């Protein structure tokens, strides 16, 4: 519903600002959508489809939580990448040896896969 955003403009501004910051970090796979602005549009559609004020508030709260999780995941990926690059291990050397130029991108991808795998085992 169109009137719901007017009731919680601060929450939406915070959410969409945080989505933009996450996208600007340019971590492949965070958010999982591929194109710039795609995740924001998806969230806007979720909010627009709210059928009541309580549904809108619940959706906004859920999306704020999800962006927090994605931000924390991004922090973990960046820290893990930094550790791998600054203290080369066998796995780092293996990744660097098997990938073409722009190897840092592959390190980040490998770190995200590691974090996702760890979280999936932890949560399920």
How high is the pLDDT of residue 16?
93
Residue 49: give the domain boundaries: 4-123
Quick check: 96 pLDDT over 80? no
Counts of helices then strands in the chain (DSSP H, E): 6, 0
Domain total in the chain = 1
How high is the pLDDT of residue 50?
87
Q: Are 64 and 47 in contact (CB under 8 A)?
A: no
Which among 40, 35, 34, 26 has a CA at the least distance from the CA of 77? 26
Q: How far is CA 77 from CA 14, 30, 80, 104, in A?
A: 23, 10, 5, 12
Residue 2: φ, ψ to 5°: -70, -25
CB neighbourhood size of 92 (10 A): 18
How high is the pLDDT of residue 113?
87
Q: Express each pLDDT in 54-72 by its tens digit.
A: 898 899 999 999 999 999 9
């Amino acid at each position: 519903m169109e009137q719901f955003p007017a009731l919680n403009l601060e929450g939406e501004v915070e959410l969409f600002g945080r989505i933009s910051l996450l996208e600007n970090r340019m971590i492949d796979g965070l958010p999982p959508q591929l194109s710039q602005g795609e995740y924001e549009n998806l969230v806007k559609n979720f909010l627009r489809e709210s059928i009541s004020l309580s549904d809108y508030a619940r959706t906004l709260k859920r999306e704020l939580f999800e962006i927090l999780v994605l931000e924390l995941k991004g922090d973990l990926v960046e820290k893990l990448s930094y550790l791998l690059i600054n203290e080369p291990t066998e796995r780092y050397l293996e990744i660097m040896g098997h990938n073409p130029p722009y190897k840092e991108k592959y390190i980040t991808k490998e770190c995200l896969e590691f974090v996702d795998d760890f979280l999936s085992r932890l949560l399920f």
